[in-house]
Amino acid sequence: MLPGISDKKSYRALGVCAAFLLGTATLPASAEGPTLSEEAFESSKQLYFERCAGCHGVLRKGATGKGLEPSWKKTAKDGTVTEGGTLKLGQERLEKIISFGTEGGMNNFSDIMTEQEIKDMATYIMMEPPTPPEMSLEQMEATRKVYVEPADYPTEPLHGRNWENFFVVIERDVGKVAVVDGDTKEVLAHIPTGYAVHVLKASEHHSINEPENPGRFWYTMGRDGKMTKIDLWQNPENMLVAEVKIAYDARDVAVSGDGKYVIGGGYWPPHFAIVDAETMEPKKVVSTRGVNVDGEYVEESRVAAIYTTPHEPTWIVAVKELGQLWQVDYTDLENLQITKIDSAKFLHDGFFDPTGRYFQIAANASNKMVVVDTDDYKLEAMIDTGPLPHPGPGANWMDPNCGPVAGTTHLGEGLVTVWGNDPEGNPDKAWKICYEVETDGAGLFIRTHPESDYVWADQTKHPEPEVQQSVQVISKETGEIVETIQITEEEGNVAVHIEFNQDGSEVWVSKWNRATSKEPNGEIVIFDAKTLEEKARVKGLFAPTGKFNVYNRSNHVT
């Protein structure tokens, strides 16, 4: 389960995942098993989508989180049969797990769900899961809205600001994205998007077919499957130019190297959709259901990460439950060419090495980092790590002993794992662990900049407030923690996600308030990247989580 919003009325008003809530399964016909009132069932179904489906799956088959089916039976190769399920755990045990979390990385929900919500949720996950509907291209097209016609786009920035040092900031709990001027620290806009945006991507510098003005257009992907297009050259009030819904539950988005297409990946339905980048018109939808690396058919095989390959006219699409990376050639949509690369389960998020050739992605349930050669369309390596690697946007840097390296934090323990990633210049170090750093707590994100002497890691997944409210700074030279910085001591707040400004002189960290509020309740805390001293705070934000610097992201600066 992941933390999210609890203000159901506000998101129902926004129409969050309305179709999801019309799933074909309803209250069980029999009263012999666990039952809920119709109101409690619907409320729990919405709450499960908001907080639990991301880790445990819509059909509750499990992925990063454990399966939550009412009952299951597994037969091992030696014929041994194991049975389990939420019914076997029972109401009381489930309530405790939801309330207090687990050592495996699940948050406690005692401070963000009421006792009654926890009680109802425990009952709900002992009932058969609802099955949501599918979504066709025609249904996607019906959701498309154009607010500014492409013919009316400005030919130069209208605001006269240094837009390449803008930060696009996720305001998770209000379904918005803020635009912050990185030079002046002003909040320029709060742009309505989908619910709980997970990822934003821009057009990027590409080695082939360079798009016009990389970084100008940004595309968001909400948890509710709504994709929005943002034009940073517009005046703040007109930056939202178009939107379309491509799924009921989704996570990632990417722009083709030539800037012509945008791809969005669905958690449900398990598919990806390709839309016209200019008009947002849906062009193609492809199911990702299939046979996983263990030879089993998977109905809910979700799209986790999607990235544009810098050297090829392709996207790399991580199909989570299949344990496969699909390299999708976008040059001919009518005859789409897809190369399926087997790796490990369950694929989550990743990043490229500095050359742009190798994609490094976490298979967190397998405790591995997977490396794919996107120039040759093949698996390069799999690196064993600690439990549940989670690099987020990742980090690459130069190590004095191993040469070029990359690193990841872990959901399962306080650990940063560092490996060599230069097979050309340092083949004996490539795809081998260089060193590990024990941190105070499990984290979500790691980040650095070529101009920085340090690597920064958050500790958001640790259960103790003092730890989850701090970030740790690691020296590139020694591989040791040189500073632990307390971002906040306010109850209910955590430190999450790190991003550098354009020239690498500043580090921005989110102070995220987990409680939903109709008033601004979060901040971004800014530090001097060399002295590690606090410089400023950006206030007036609603639960800021991820933030993305325009120049760094469109130029592959990690």
Cα–Cα dist 487/468, whole Å: 9
In angstroms, the Cα distances linking 417 to 346, 394, 442, 444 are: 18, 11, 12, 13
On whether residue 237 sits in a domain, the answer given is no
Of 355 and 82, the structure prediction assigns the larger pLDDT to 355
On whether residue 534 sits in a domain, the answer given is no
Q: What is the mean pLDDT of residues 381-391?
A: 97
DSSP per-residue codes, 461-513: T-SSHHHHTEEEEEETTT-SEEEEEE----TTEEEEEEEE-TTSSEEEEEEEE
Rg (CA), the chain: 22
Q: What is the mean pLDDT of residues 525-544?
A: 97
The pLDDT score that the predictor gives to residue 386 is 96
Q: What is the mean pLDDT of the chain?
A: 90
Examine the pLDDT at 4 and tell me if it is beyond 80. no
Each residue of 316-345: pLDDT tens digit? 999 999 999 999 999 999 999 999 999 999
On whether residue 70 sits in a domain, the answer given is yes
Q: What is the mean pLDDT of residues 187-210?
A: 91
Of 166 and 465, the structure prediction assigns the larger pLDDT to 166
Examine the pLDDT at 441 and tell me if it is beyond 90. yes
On whether residue 328 sits in a domain, the answer given is no
Q: What is the mean pLDDT of residues 191-208?
A: 91
Each residue of 107-156: pLDDT tens digit? 778 877 888 988 888 898 899 887 788 999 999 999 999 999 999 999 99
Question: Which residues, at least 6 apart from 525, have a Cβ–Cβ distance to it below 8 Å?
Answer: 487, 488, 495, 508, 509, 510, 511, 534, 537
Q: What is the mean pLDDT of residues 233-258?
A: 96
Instruction: Give the active site residues.
Output: 52, 55-56, 106, 348, 390
The pLDDT score that the predictor gives to residue 100 is 81
What whole-number percentage of the chain has pLDDT above 90?
70
Q: What is the mean pLDDT of residues 487-504?
A: 95
pLDDT band at 78; cut points 50, 70, 90:
confident
Angle ∠(369,375,377) on CA atoms, nearest 5:
65
- State both tokens at 92: 């009381």
The pLDDT score that the predictor gives to residue 105 is 66
Domain that holds residue 35: 8-124
Each residue of 22-67: pLDDT tens digit? 344 445 444 578 999 989 888 888 787 777 877 787 788 777 778 8
Examine the pLDDT at 404 and tell me if it is beyond 60. yes
Q: What is the mean pLDDT of residues 297-308?
A: 95
On whether residue 88 sits in a domain, the answer given is yes
Of 531 and 56, the structure prediction assigns the larger pLDDT to 531
On whether residue 76 sits in a domain, the answer given is yes
The domain tally of the chain equals 1
The pLDDT score that the predictor gives to residue 60 is 84
pLDDT band at 196; cut points 50, 70, 90:
confident
pLDDT band at 243; cut points 50, 70, 90:
very high
Of the CA atoms within 13 Å of residue 26, those in its CB half-sphere come to: 5
On whether residue 107 sits in a domain, the answer given is yes
On whether residue 79 sits in a domain, the answer given is yes
The CATH number covering residue 18 comes to 1.10.760.10
pLDDT band at 509; cut points 50, 70, 90:
very high
pLDDT band at 103; cut points 50, 70, 90:
low
Supply the angle between the helices 38-51 and 115-124 in degrees, to the nearest 10: 90
Locus of tokens 């130019």 = 241
